[in-house]
Chains A and B, each alone.
Chain A
Amino acid sequence: MMTSLLAAGPATRRRRVSTRVWRGLTYLSLILLMAPAAWLLINVLAKAWPHWQWSVLWTQLTSTGGGLRDQILGTLILMIGVFIIAGTIGVFAGIHLAEFARPRRFSGRVSGPLRTASDVLAGFPSIVLGYVGYVALVVGLGWKLSLLPALIILSIMVIPYIAKNTETSLRQVPTGYREGAEALGMSAGYRLRKVVLKSALPGIMTGLLLALAIACGETAPLIYTAGFSNTLPHSLTGSQFPYLTYMVFTGYNSPETQYHYLAYDAALILVVIVMVLLVLSRIVVTRTQRHSESSRSSGGGLRARMRARAQKNEPLLGITGAPPR
Chain B
Amino acid sequence: MTAVGGVAGSVPATPHAESVGKPPLPKRVSDFARRNEEKGWRSVAWVAVILPLAALVFAITVLAVKAAPVIGHNGWYFLYGRTWTYGNQGYGGGPGARFGAWAIIWGTIASSVIAIVIALPLSIGAAFALTERMPTWISRPLGFTIEILAGIPSVVIGLWGILAFAPWLAKNVYPHIASVMPDVPVLRYFRSPTGSGEGLLSAGIVLALMIVPIITSTTRDLFTQVPPLPKEGASALGMTDWEVANKVTLPWVRSGIIGATVLGLGRALGETIAIAMIGGAALRIPSTIYLPFTTIAATILTQLDGQLANPQGVATLAELALVLAVISVVVNLVARLIVSRTGRVGAPVGGA
User: Interface of A with B (CB < 8 Å)?
Assistant: 1-2, 5-6, 15-16, 18-19, 21-23, 25-30, 32-34, 36-41, 43-44, 88-93, 95-103, 106-111, 113-114, 116-121, 123-129, 131-132, 134-136, 156, 159-160, 163, 170-171, 175, 178-179, 182, 185-190, 192-193, 210, 213-214, 216-220, 223-224, 245, 248-249, 252, 263-264, 267, 270-271, 274-275, 277-278, 282, 296-305, 309, 312, 314-315, 317-322, 324-325
**Which listed residue (A19, A43, A125) contacts B240, Cβ 8 A?**
A19
CB–CB B38/A192 < 8 A: yes
A278-B221 contact given A116-B336, A117-B56, A127-B301, CB 8 Å threshold: no
CB–CB A322/B238 < 8 A: yes
Q: Please name 10 pairs of A and B residues whose Cβ atoms are closer than 8 Å in the assembled complex, sorted by A.
A: A100-B41, A125-B272, A131-B317, A159-B52, A182-B12, A188-B10, A218-B153, A301-B137, A309-B228, A314-B228
Q: With CB as the reference atom, state the residue of chain A lying closest to B37.
A: A189
Q: List A contacts of B212 (CB < 8 A).
A: 33
**Residue of A192, A210, A296 contacting most chain B CB atoms (<10 Å):** A192
Per the bound structure, the CA–CA distance linking A35 and B235 in Å amounts to 32
A125-B328 contact given A159-B51, A217-B155, CB 8 Å threshold: yes
CB–CB B53/A114 < 8 A: yes
A124-B270 contact given A19-B240, A23-B133, CB 8 Å threshold: yes
**Which listed residue (B3, B40, B56, B267) contacts A175, Cβ 8 A?**
B3
Per the bound structure, the CA–CA distance linking A263 and B123 in Å amounts to 31
Q: With CB as the reference atom, state the residue of chain B lying closest to A113.
A: B53
B243 CB to nearest A CB, Å: 7
Q: List B contacts of A97 (CB < 8 A).
A: 49
CB–CB A136/B58 < 8 A: yes
Say yes or no for B47: interface residue by CB 8 A criterion.
Answer: yes
The B contact surface, by secondary structure, is helix
Say yes or no for B216: interface residue by CB 8 A criterion.
Answer: yes
**Which listed residue (A43, A92, A299, A321) contacts B235, Cβ 8 A?**
A321
CB–CB B336/A163 < 8 A: no
Q: List B contacts of A187 (CB < 8 A).
A: 11-12, 14, 34-35, 37-38
CB–CB A267/B156 < 8 A: yes
Q: With CB as the reference atom, state the residue of chain A lying closest to B50.
A: A114
Q: List A contacts of B225 (CB < 8 A).
A: 296
The A contact surface, by secondary structure, is helix
CB–CB B4/A131 < 8 A: no
Residues 97-126 of B, flagged 1 when their CB comes within 8 A of A and 0 if not, give 000000000000000000000000111111
CB–CB A95/B41 < 8 A: yes
CB–CB B344/A300 < 8 A: no
Q: List A contacts of B50 (CB < 8 A).
A: 114
CB–CB A189/B41 < 8 A: yes
B150 CB to nearest A CB, Å: 9
Per the bound structure, the CA–CA distance linking A1 and B252 in Å amounts to 14
Q: List A contacts of B243 (CB < 8 A).
A: 5, 15, 19
CB–CB A22/B245 < 8 A: yes
Per the bound structure, the CA–CA distance linking A36 and B58 in Å amounts to 39
Say yes or no for B17: interface residue by CB 8 A criterion.
Answer: no
Q: List A contacts of B5 (CB < 8 A).
A: 99-103, 110
Q: List B contacts of A175 (CB < 8 A).
A: 1, 3
Say yes or no for B178: interface residue by CB 8 A criterion.
Answer: no
Q: With CB as the reference atom, state the residue of chain B lying closest to A186.
A: B12
A314 CB to nearest B CB, Å: 5
A217-B156 contact given A19-B241, A23-B133, A100-B46, CB 8 Å threshold: yes
A191 CB to nearest B CB, Å: 8
CB–CB A26/B125 < 8 A: yes
Residues 300-321 of B, flagged 1 when their CB comes within 8 A of A and 0 if not, give 1100100000000010011001
B53 CB to nearest A CB, Å: 4
Per the bound structure, the CA–CA distance linking A106 and B243 in Å amounts to 33
Q: With CB as the reference atom, state the residue of chain B lying closest to A223.
A: B301
Query: What interface size band does chain B fall in?
Result: 35 or more
Per the bound structure, the CA–CA distance linking A97 and B240 in Å amounts to 42
CB–CB A127/B56 < 8 A: no
Per the bound structure, the CA–CA distance linking A126 and B321 in Å amounts to 10
A123-B266 contact given A26-B128, A99-B45, A136-B58, CB 8 Å threshold: yes
A23-B209 contact given A34-B145, A128-B63, A252-B162, CB 8 Å threshold: no
CB–CB B240/A29 < 8 A: no
Per the bound structure, the CA–CA distance linking A49 and B296 in Å amounts to 36
Say yes or no for B180: interface residue by CB 8 A criterion.
Answer: no
Per the bound structure, the CA–CA distance linking A159 and B50 in Å amounts to 12
Q: List A contacts of B158 (CB < 8 A).
A: 248-249
- Besides A188-B7, A277-B151, 4 more A-B contacts (Cβ < 8 Å) are A19-B240, A111-B340, A163-B49, A252-B162
A255 CB to nearest B CB, Å: 16
Say yes or no for B200: interface residue by CB 8 A criterion.
Answer: no
CB–CB A320/B35 < 8 A: no
Per the bound structure, the CA–CA distance linking A114 and B56 in Å amounts to 11
CB–CB A43/B129 < 8 A: no
Per the bound structure, the CA–CA distance linking A16 and B270 in Å amounts to 43
CB–CB B156/A270 < 8 A: yes
**Which listed residue (A29, A39, A128, A216) contacts B126, Cβ 8 A?**
A29
CB–CB A125/B324 < 8 A: yes
Per the bound structure, the CA–CA distance linking A66 and B238 in Å amounts to 67
Q: List A contacts of B300 (CB < 8 A).
A: 127-128, 131
Q: List A contacts of B247 (CB < 8 A).
A: 1, 5
Q: With CB as the reference atom, state the residue of chain B lying closest to A23.
A: B241
**Which listed residue (B3, B45, B136, B231) contacts A320, Cβ 8 A?**
B231
